[in-house]
């Protein structure tokens, strides 16, 4: 597998989602596009969206290498599909939830290690992700590779289906509605901040992944005209959504490496994020973004930015430069091809 030239190698990419707009599907689509541009034949099987059939089996038997996204979800799928034999070299890509949340569950760990043990490589987005897997599976340390996820987000406006709230400052939180994203963490503080900035608005955009969280969000939206929830939209529309925001937020309890923040940074939007390892892997406080631990500290950081307009622009430019240097698609694909080459070479020794 040559890192820059055309090749006839075939890969099957197993991803939980490909059609639905979620973090896994964004990663999968980016990898598919990048790999195909390098001449790799990629067959995609979205195992939470599709049924394993004869066509999937036929394509599976044709490939040289298997690439799997999300340890826990795939482990559960394999448990239900014992007829699918991983008889080709395979790599695992672990993102956020399967490292930060699932590793806390002993049963999940037991299930995941059954798949991880036979893998030829495991990729993670950050050193923190690697450290957490090594803590759970010390014997896997030598096969773990850190490959930062890239950003493919260009500054272009398209007609968007979202009716953006008018107001300033406008805070945007791109996140699916589920407990780990803690999307209402700052709500009460934002309500207090409206005493100082009565035109402040807040938008959450992302799919409904938990009905209980959605119900809370829905009720608050009915009560407060300055708050809006928007379900997922097409990825191509997101630059327009970012453009309408003054600040982009992340309030997650845990993250792998937040692509929404990287996208905002690439588009020169200031970001404020909860101080957790996944966010710290891409943000240096007061240099490329703002980190906070409590809603009160978030309020303080916003005050700093308002009083610090010139420095805010410097921060935005540093953030953009960081993303371009460390999260380029070319770099990400090159690193994956190196891992593929290693696995194939090892398989034929």
Name the residue ranges covered by the structural domains of the chain.
10-150+328-347, 170-326
Helix axes 295-306, 309-326, angle to 10 degrees: 110
pLDDT of residue 6: 46
Question: Is pLDDT above 70 for 312?
Answer: yes
Q: For 99-123, what is the mean pLDDT?
A: 74
Question: Is pLDDT above 60 for 141?
Answer: yes
Backbone angles phi, psi at 320, to 5 degrees: -60, -45
Fold type of domain 170-326: Rossmann fold (3.40.50)
Among the listed ranges 13-17, 98-102, 141-145, 238-242, which one has the minimum average pLDDT value? 98-102
pTM of this prediction? 0.84
Domains 10-150+328-347 and 170-326 agree in fold: yes
Helix axes 329-347, 23-37, angle to 10 degrees: 80
Backbone angles phi, psi at 21, to 5 degrees: -80, 95
Q: For 221-228, what is the mean pLDDT?
A: 96
Question: Is pLDDT above 80 for 347?
Answer: no
Split at pLDDT 50, 70, 90, the class of 126 is confident
Stronger pLDDT, 95 or 261, i.e. the higher one? 261
pLDDT of residue 210: 94
Q: For 105-131, what is the mean pLDDT?
A: 80
Q: For 276-289, what is the mean pLDDT?
A: 93
pLDDT of residue 5: 44
Q: Can you point out the beta strands (E) in 178-250? A: 201-205, 227-230, 247-250
- Say if residues 260 and 248 touch (Cβ distance below 8 Å): yes
Split at pLDDT 50, 70, 90, the class of 15 is very high
Split at pLDDT 50, 70, 90, the class of 228 is very high
pLDDT of residue 94: 84
pLDDT of residue 4: 47
Residues 6+ apart with CB under 8 A from 22: 16, 176, 207
The rounded distance, in Å, linking the Cα atoms of 271 and 268 is 9
Question: Is pLDDT above 60 for 313?
Answer: yes
Sole residue written with tokens 């923190």: 128
Q: For 76-90, what is the mean pLDDT?
A: 91
Question: Is pLDDT above 70 for 136?
Answer: yes
Fold type of domain 10-150+328-347: Rossmann fold (3.40.50)
Question: Is pLDDT above 70 for 103?
Answer: no
Report the candidate in 144, 155, 102 with the shortest Cα–Cα distance to residue 122: 144
pLDDT of residue 31: 94
Q: For 3-25, what is the mean pLDDT?
A: 78
H or E element in which residue 320 lies: helix 309-326
The rounded distance, in Å, linking the Cα atoms of 69 and 135 is 20
Mean pLDDT of all residues in the chain?
88
User: In the sheet where 121-124 sits, what is the strand order?
Assistant: 41-46, 10-15, 65-69, 90-94, 121-124, 144-146
The rounded distance, in Å, linking the Cα atoms of 209 and 218 is 14
Q: For 86-93, what is the mean pLDDT?
A: 92
pLDDT of residue 105: 64
Stronger pLDDT, 145 or 23, i.e. the higher one? 145
pLDDT of residue 237: 85
Backbone angles phi, psi at 174, to 5 degrees: -85, 110
Residues 6+ apart with CB under 8 A from 302: 169, 193, 247, 272
pLDDT of residue 311: 86
pLDDT of residue 234: 78
Split at pLDDT 50, 70, 90, the class of 101 is low
Exposed / middle / buried, residue 236 (Cβ in 10 Å: 0-12, 13-18, 19+): exposed
The rounded distance, in Å, linking the Cα atoms of 108 and 112 is 6
Rg (CA), the chain: 21
Distances in whole angstroms, Cα of residue 85 to Cα of each of 78, 82, 117, 263, 339: 9, 7, 14, 37, 22
């Amino acid at each position: 597998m040559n890192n820059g030239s055309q090749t006839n190698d075939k890969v099957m990419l197993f991803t939980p989602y490909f059609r639905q707009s979620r973090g896994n599907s964004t990663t999968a689509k980016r990898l598919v596009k990048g790999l195909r541009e390098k001449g790799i034949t990629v067959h995609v099987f979205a195992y939470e969206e599709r049924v394993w059939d004869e066509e999937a089996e036929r394509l599976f038997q044709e490939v040289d290498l298997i690439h799997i996204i999300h340890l826990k979800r795939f482990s559960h799928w394999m448990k239900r599909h014992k007829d699918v034999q991983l008889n080709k070299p395979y790599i695992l890509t672990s993102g956020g939830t399967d490292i930060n949340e699932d590793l806390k569950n002993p049963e999940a760990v037991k299930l995941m290690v059954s798949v991880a043990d036979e893998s030829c490589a495991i990729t993670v987005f950050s050193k923190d992700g690697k450290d957490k897997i090594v803590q759970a599976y010390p014997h896997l340390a030598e096969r773990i590779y850190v490959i930062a996820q890239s950003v493919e987000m260009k500054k272009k406006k398209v007609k968007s289906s979202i009716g953006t709230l008018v107001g300033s400052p406008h805070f945007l939180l791109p996140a699916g509605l589920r407990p780990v994203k803690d999307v209402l963490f700052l709500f009460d503080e934002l309500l207090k901040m409206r005493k100082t900035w009565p035109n402040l608005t807040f938008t959450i955009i992302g799919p409904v992944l938990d009905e209980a969280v959605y119900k809370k969000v829905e009720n608050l939206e009915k009560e407060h005209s300055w708050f809006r929830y928007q379900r997922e939209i097409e990825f191509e529309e997101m630059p327009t959504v970012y453009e309408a925001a003054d600040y982009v937020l992340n309030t997650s309890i845990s993250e792998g490496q937040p692509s929404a923040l990287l996208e905002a940074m690439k588009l020169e939007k200031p970001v404020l994020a909860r101080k957790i390892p996944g966010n710290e892997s891409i943000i240096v406080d007061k240099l490329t973004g703002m980190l906070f631990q409590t809603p009160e500290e978030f309020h303080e950081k916003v005050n700093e930015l308002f009083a610090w307009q010139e420095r805010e622009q410097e921060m935005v430019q540093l953030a953009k430069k960081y993303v371009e240097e460390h999260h380029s698609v070319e770099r990400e694909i090159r690193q994956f091809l190196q891992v593929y080459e290693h696995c194939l070479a090892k398989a034929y020794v």
